[in-house]
Structure 1
């Protein structure tokens, strides 16, 4: 890329686009894309050329302007990874959309973002509503994920058109400041402002309309550097795409893998059989996913101890001692991270100590459950006291909790890898920032060593008989029962105690446990008021596309149950 002449000699604006170009320069013949479902393999030099054609194709769209939002509706595939570089190189803002969203939700996001250019995988074309999804002038490009092997693939035609524009630009004979003819990526202008928006990722919207999280070139560059470093990615690494690339821009791994000259191994969906093929025969060294995803992987019929250690970034809740033990037996090394869409994905992690080697699995699991310290390029997060309910949060100064592992407060963060703002929502942006710190809504404690540990989300903390109960704490203890595969606890209204816990439990295959037995297990490990009053044994828990538990669905379910119970009680008194 060509820097504007106004840029000082001692400064180059940061952009994650540079990672692909550097990989193509230094490791041109190294594998970049491995897509076994489509029989596609690309080296970094081939992929950089393909991505440049895509960049020119975007620049050549009618009415294109810098700062345009470009929507992407696709599973893990080469297209979505290519667009993470090409859109930014063209001066646009990538807007990846969850393929699990409803057509109505996608219509809202497209309208709110103002996307006039939409790339959509053909498998998810049904999610586009012609009358609602976009403006009448929106251009929609469909991809058959053919890798150039389907002559009718519209996405490949778009790339061909971009390649022609690229050839015409070279023929025009534009010269660089050194008097040489520009070739290839030299024809693309380097972003002049590293703080320009790069990505617009929408939150899940489980408690209302999804919010658009606007992040920058600089933040994406630094977050990718952190993820490559913290994950231990290198030139020999093979990153398996289990985590959806549309989720918070795949935690910046579309750029982090390029920064390490590593290979992207692509799976279009979470299929445990295909995952084990990739682990056993695909050379996989790294992947990322929620504990619920790990549960499916370690309990699959093909599970066996791997000949090499595979590093696994685990977000959301920490792996239980039972899950940790299973992962270790299979040579899967969990790296526990914490973050949000508003922090480009992971922003902190638990750093292990050598002394852990002599501890029991249960003790190590409890230590690993702490979310730890800030990433390489991140500031340390704080845990601050929550303002009284009757106070205006904006008027209350932030005050840190004690480092005793007991006092609970809210996690707040700032720094290089925190979002710029909520797009077109000044009020939501104002409400979520205090004293220049982003308030996450996550409750935690801080231990004497400085590491934080998530206690719960504000909305997942409930009051039973005047006592605060953390649903996460109840879930952690409930999961320690040998028959429990996974579980979730939500609050349920109660006429006597105000709120009580309602647990939903999935048992391990070939294990048996009654509701009463699980409650007795809880009584041995927690206060009486925290023991779930209701326990339902279920076949599965509701989850979104990233494997994240959908507690809003469970809350709706228990609300109906509580309402029915109240009706029955009222009728019995008549």
Structure 2
């Protein structure tokens, strides 16, 4: 990487100490400091000021922890200096994985605002809805996605465009860098005013910023994908974000030698809190603007990457890339959305990737469970280990026990927790996954009815159907809406997909319900093959393969071979798109 000197907004003070703590009111008891993930950045800058906090090779940008702490403080003052700004205002970010979105996850919180990252895969209409629903006061937007910002905005909304330059072309050439410079000047004015009033007792740097008065104050507003209707705004707190980051740092085994590669979108549930988790571990964040397998392998081979997160579909592309070869160091990968197949797991392990299967949702700050491996697994075949890894497992550190329950009063909103009955630990009885406690959202923003339907009996209901095994681990069977009811039999589309994916010629697959006059619903399988297009012979081959492994009524009656499956920004298959395609009357040929 060529030599890079950060702009003045991103340089620590040279004329005095750099205050690296938030101010807490004197009335706060000595045994209590409100929890906020912002404190992780200040701790890292204090302990390891010269260590790389963030590298962005594509743009030749690199910040040490003391530089990044200065840059985030400049952003904090820039936000607070915006005309009309007040505590609790929302700041929207429309950006790919860039320094801006990562520093926004700190600066917005420090300014007393609510961090509102938007999905860049959404269209203009969807973005406009979220901006209106959230009431965003400031919009930080990357130049590549400027077209998503509505042309007509209320006069009080401030839009800041970023060219993702890091100030390399000068502050005036990049509106975001100019915004940061204005924040730096506001910071320096505040310090001068403090010095004039207090002299040697004056606060400096981050001491000019107050910790949140209540750690349960909201700090993030992350929108769901809206696959079953309008996106819902998930409101989460400083305390929950701090604890979720703590849990992710611990469960991912992050430390000061870790280099975290940004493959997961940093807008997705605030990057699953990994911007804060990596900082808590004093690790380094390696930024990629887009999921490019060539760049990812370059990062693996040449930049010391140790961790990343990615859905199975992302990993399928990686293990089949021409650059793929066994790495000299172990790289830990958190896999969500669905479990890796035996074939994918074997390929990842041969390349020196250690796979961890996690489960969570936007309403839980991202992942909250993982499959904890056992020592006995080392003697098992890869197929047997893949089967065990398909369990979603147990709750993270700081998470309450994750339960699977049936209700004696379906559809009610009783306040009596005794109405929640745990399923048997037999791996057979199906119930709904529920959770509560530290990593449950506060509420759906401006949507009391949706909150009421989700938070029942003091528990957050996920809508995911699962069984519980004898060891207490949970295993998802399906989303409630994804169950196929064929001839009165409940068919788990996930179970069918897992079995179909084990066929050596299947690269990816998805099974949805197709209306049928005789059976009510039948299974419709969309299949991506590893090579070539399928035909009637291959359809029959797959049908017979399934019949030898699952109940006859569960075998899809329709097989449709496609080049690719529609996916979300995080690699999750968009079943609602395929369901709509099937319901619209499109005819499958096979």
User: TM-score of the superposition, structure 1-length normalised?
Assistant: 0.96
1:412-460 Cα offsets, whole Å, 9 max, x none, are 0001011000000011101111110000000000011111001100000
Look up the match of 1:406: 428
Look up the match of 1:546: 570
1:163-562 paired onto structure 2 within 5 Å: 163-174=184-195, 180-386=201-407, 397-509=419-531, 514-561=538-585
The answer to whether the 8 A contact 2:407-2:419 is kept is no
CA separation in 1, counterparts of 2:50 and 2:56? Answer: 17
Report the alpha carbon displacement of residue 544 of structure 1 after superposing the two structures with TM: 1.4
CA separation in 1, counterparts of 2:557 and 2:414? Answer: 34
Report the alpha carbon displacement of residue 509 of structure 1 after superposing the two structures with TM: 3.4
CA separation in 2, counterparts of 1:79 and 1:382? Answer: 38
Pick the aligned partner of 2:71 from 24, 40, 50. 50
1:235-287 Cα offsets, whole Å, 9 max, x none, are 01000000000000000001001000000000001000000000111100000
Pick the aligned partner of 1:136 from 116, 136, 155. 155
Report the alpha carbon displacement of residue 182 of structure 1 after superposing the two structures with TM: 1.2
Report the alpha carbon displacement of residue 173 of structure 1 after superposing the two structures with TM: 2.4
Gaps of 5+ in 1: 566-574
CA separation in 2, counterparts of 1:174 and 1:436? Answer: 50
The farther-off stretch of 251-260 and 295-304 is 295-304
The answer to whether the 8 A contact 2:524-2:558 is kept is yes
The answer to whether the 8 A contact 2:423-2:429 is kept is yes
CA separation in 2, counterparts of 1:335 and 1:424? Answer: 35
Question: Relative to 1, partners in 2 of residues 1:392 and 1:7: Cα closer, same or farther, differing over 3 Å?
Answer: closer
CA separation in 2, counterparts of 1:28 and 1:468? Answer: 57
CA separation in 2, counterparts of 1:299 and 1:394? Answer: 51
CA separation in 2, counterparts of 1:286 and 1:176? Answer: 47
The answer to whether the 8 A contact 1:455-1:472 is kept is yes
Question: Relative to 1, partners in 2 of residues 1:367 and 1:114: Cα closer, same or farther, differing over 3 Å?
Answer: same
CA separation in 2, counterparts of 1:248 and 1:443? Answer: 22
1:457-491 Cα offsets, whole Å, 9 max, x none, are 00001111111000000000000000011100000
CA separation in 2, counterparts of 1:143 and 1:57? Answer: 14
What RMSD over aligned residues (CA atoms) do the two structures have, in Å? 1.8
The answer to whether the 8 A contact 1:398-1:434 is kept is no
CA separation in 2, counterparts of 1:520 and 1:386? Answer: 38
The answer to whether the 8 A contact 2:305-2:331 is kept is yes
| Matched residues, number | 563
The answer to whether the 8 A contact 1:175-1:182 is kept is no
Look up the match of 1:147: 166
Gaps of 5+ in 2: 1-21
Look up the match of 1:572: none
Question: Relative to 1, partners in 2 of residues 1:390 and 1:71: Cα closer, same or farther, differing over 3 Å?
Answer: closer
